[in-house]
Amino acid sequence: MPKAWTREELIIVLNLYCGLPFGQLHKGNRVIIEIAEKLDRTPSSIAMKLVNFASLDPFHKARGVKGLSRVSAADREIWKEFREDGSEVALESERIIRNLARSLPITGKDYVEEYEDADQSFEGAQTEGIRLGSVRLLQSFFRRTVLASYESKCCITGNPVRALLVASHILPWKSFPAHRVNPANGLCLVAHFDRAFDRGLIAFDANGRLLLSSILKEYLPNTALQQEFFDREGRSLILPRRFQPDASFLEHHRKNVFIGSKHAIG
C-alpha cells in the first residue's frame, strides 16, 4: 500500500510548487531529488504531487492541465488554505523547508538561502505585532514565488538581474492582510519601476498596458526617462507562467494609488 502523505510533506511540496520555476517541476530537478531523499520519497512521487497542485491552480485549469486521477482531499485542503489566506501555510512551509535544507546538499540549500538577504520591507508589519523573523520568512516565500512565476525577469523591461528585481505587492501589505503572500498580488519589477509603481507614477490599464503619470512629463526632455519609461508606454506587461496578477488588484491600484495627473494629487 502506498505510504500516506503527511501534512508536513504536502506543504513542503506546495512550497516547491510555488518556489520553483514552472519548467523545473520534474523528477530530474536536483532540489526535488535532494528533498525526496530526505522525505524517503521518490523524485517521481514529488513530481506527481507537483502536477496535482498545478491541476488545482486556476490558471493551469484554464489551460487544461490535469493532475493524477487521485488528487486527494488533503491536496485540495492545503491548496484551499493557501488560496484563501496563505500566510499561515506559507510561514509553516518556510520554517519546515528551511530546517530540512540545513541537511541538504548545496542545491537544496541554495533554494532557501538565495533569499535570506532580500532587501524588501513590509510597511507596518511590526506595529501589527508580527515578529520580525516571521516577516522575513513570509518575505522570502513571497519573493521566491513571484520571481519563479516571472522566471526572474521584470514584467516591464525583461531585466533578468536578480539583485535588481523586487517582488512588488499590488495591494499593500498593511491594508490587505489576506493577500500578503498571494502570488496573484505580486509583480516582478526592476527596482526603479517598483518604486514608481508604489508611488503611483505608473499603473496598468484593464488590458495590462503600461500607464504613465503626467507628472513624469514634467521632467522631459530627458534621455534616461524617455528610454526607460516613455518608450515603453502602452506596452503590455509580460505575464508569468502561473499566478497571473489579479485584474481586480490592478484595478484597485489604478483607481486608488495611481496619480494620473498632477491635479489628481489634490
| 266 band by pLDDT with thresholds 50, 70 and 90 | very low
Its pTM stands at: 0.89
Written as nine digits, the cell of 235 is: 506596452
Cross-strand partners of 211 = 203
| Dihedral (CA of 35, 38, 43, 45) sign | negative
Q: What is the C-alpha separation between 233 and 95, in angstroms, rounded?
A: 41
**pLDDT tens readout for residues 91-138:** 999 999 988 888 887 766 788 766 554 444 444 444 444 565 888 899
Q: What is the C-alpha separation between 211 and 93, in angstroms, rounded?
A: 37
Q: How far is residue 262 CA from its own chain's centroid? A: 32
Name the nearest CA neighbour of 143 among 175, 122, 164, 120. Answer: 120
User: Cα-flanking dihedrals φ and ψ of residue 197, to 5°?
Assistant: -65, -45
User: In the prediction, which pLDDT does 197 show?
Assistant: 98
- Return the higher-pLDDT residue of 64 and 197: 197
User: Domain residues of the chain, as ranges?
Assistant: 1-113, 154-266
